[in-house]
Structures are given as C-alpha cells and as structure tokens.
C-alpha cells in the first residue's frame, strides 16, 4: 500500500489492515521456515507496510497532519 492509500483509511480500517498485515507476515515466516516461500522479497515488503501503518497511526495520535 502507498502512503496516500493508508492515509485515506479511517482508524478502524487502518487497524484492521494492520492486523491483516501481521497475519500475512506470520504466514510468510511460516512458509519461509518450511521452505515453501517462493519470493523472499515479500517479507520486507510486508514489514515496510506495517511500519508505514504504525507511523501514520502514531501521527494521528500526536495530531500531526
């Protein structure tokens, strides 16, 4: 997801997407451990999306933008 797409989401939607991203990261790590993961670049992509979401949540919490 891009930053603009994340900012367009409401708080509840953003928290739901964040939970989904954590679940996806868990599944990717599980697939990596069982040697079933084809594209290893998916893990950093999901981690980066999680960071973006958490950053935007924190900005909203502090009242920035």
pLDDT band at 65 (very low <50, low <70, confident <90, very high): low
With 0-12 / 13-18 / 19 or more C-beta atoms within 10 angstroms meaning exposed / middle / buried, residue 25 is: middle
Range of the domain at 17: 3-62
How many distinct structural domains can be found in the chain? 1
- Residue 18 sits in a domain whose CATH number is 1.10.287.310
Q: What is the pLDDT of residues 16-55, one digit of tens each?
A: 999 999 999 999 999 999 999 999 999 999 999 999 999 9
Q: Tokens representing 36?
A: 């079933």
């Amino acid at each position: 997801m891009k930053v603009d797409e994340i900012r367009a989401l409401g708080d509840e939607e953003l928290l739901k997407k964040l939970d989904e991203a954590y679940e996806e990261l868990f599944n990717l790590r599980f697939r990596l451990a069982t040697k079933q993961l084809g594209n290893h670049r998916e893990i950093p992509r999901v981690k980066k999306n999680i960071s973006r979401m958490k950053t935007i949540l924190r900005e909203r919490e502090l009242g920035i933008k």
